[in-house]
Amino acid sequence: MKTIFHLDMDAFFVSVERILDPSLEGKPVIVGGDPHGRGVVAACSYEARKFGLQSGMPVRTAFRLCPHGIYLHGHGKEYERYSNIVKKFLENYFPMVQQASVDEFYLDFTGCEIIYGTALLFAQKIQSEIWQQFALPCSIGIASNKTIAKIASDYKKPKGITLVTQGKEKEFLAPLPIEKIPGIGKKTFPLLHARGFKTVGDIANSSPDYLSVLLGKFGNELWEKANGHGNDILTIERERKSISKETTFEADIVNKTKIETKLFELAGKASQLLRDENLQTSTVSIKLRYSDFVTVTRARTIIPTDDDKTVFDIAVDLFRKAFTHRVGIRLIGIHLSKLNHFGEQEVLFEDEHVIRKRMLRAVMKIRDKYGYKSIHIGKT
């Protein structure tokens, strides 16, 4: 049996903001932008959560619940920098580290007892060092697989450590509410709740066949998780499957030119990410959300590309066919999928296509050194 840690940073964005500005300590802090705007809460401090705030909540709702909170736009590059610092720290101790997101890591401790002692004592050491060296609080779950470890890391937040003894997984899970299982979201929860599933134990003691009829393939996966089973294999490199960029307007927009201008900006940023990671996209999608929250998506498969102009031309064509002028637009987004790596090829003749690709590489180098806004590509 393996021993897997799940290390989850506590209110990570807020913790970084408090490093940048110590005066925020002990105060209700919300990262998510203008409280009178139309974004969502990216993170909130535990002081703010006492008022009912949570991640993913519309920031306007958060402001109604906590008008005296401190609302910040956030510092994305700083979050990424501190995330990398924590990852490098963990890699000094663990033979395998899988970064699941900017603020959570799976760590394989199997066999390390000989070097570091018991898992529980070592978790305490790691938690203490991350706090002392970087002023970042974290919680750690320890179990025989990734699913249980992830649930355990959330069990005693903040600054908690929870060890689920091997063989006791089902017993640990049984009294927990069903929404503690990863994958049970806004759609699945009411469906299960209406059928009498209140605790994880209710799911574990039900028929896997019944859950499969109710939820399809996920039903059987859910039964496995509820009974304490899960994947114990760490993936070192995560292959990016898609790139998305979207924005929520401060006020509903019906002006097509303004919407297309924003779409042009999003296409440029998404294409830049493609080039940063030496990727090309074969599918371009757009998302429109109207003021009445009706959401429309459109997609088109293309010859693989990383060119801003090609991506934008496809996206704007999809937009023009999808935009009905029925009501104003609340959100516009672009999604690039079916990504694949490509290599530079030697060419004998410099045609327009080759020259443009070299230009895009030059733009990428300038942005890498001076930032995305340092140079712009015109629509023409």
Give the residue numbers annotated as catalytic, written as ranges.
104
Where does 170-218 show beta strands of DSSP type E?
none
Alpha-carbon distance 119 to 124, whole Å? 9
Other CB atoms within a 10 A radius of the CB of residue 374 amount to 11
> Phi/psi of residue 71, each to 5°?
-105, 125
DSSP bridge pairs for 62: none
Other CB atoms within a 10 A radius of the CB of residue 258 amount to 13
Alpha-carbon distance 28 to 62, whole Å? 11
Alpha-carbon distance 5 to 29, whole Å? 28
Could you give the count of Cα atoms lying within 13 Å of 179 in the half-sphere of its Cβ?
Answer: 7
Where does 76-123 show beta strands of DSSP type E?
96-101, 104-108
Give the SS3 label for residue 89: helix
Q: Which amino acid does the sequence have at 287?
A: K
How many Å from the N-terminal Cα to the C-terminal Cα in the chain? 60
Tokens 């991350």, residue?
130
Q: Is the peptide bond before 177 cis (omega within 30 degrees of 0)?
A: no
Provide the pairing of β-strand 138-143 with 161-163: parallel
Could you give the count of Cα atoms lying within 13 Å of 326 in the half-sphere of its Cβ?
Answer: 14
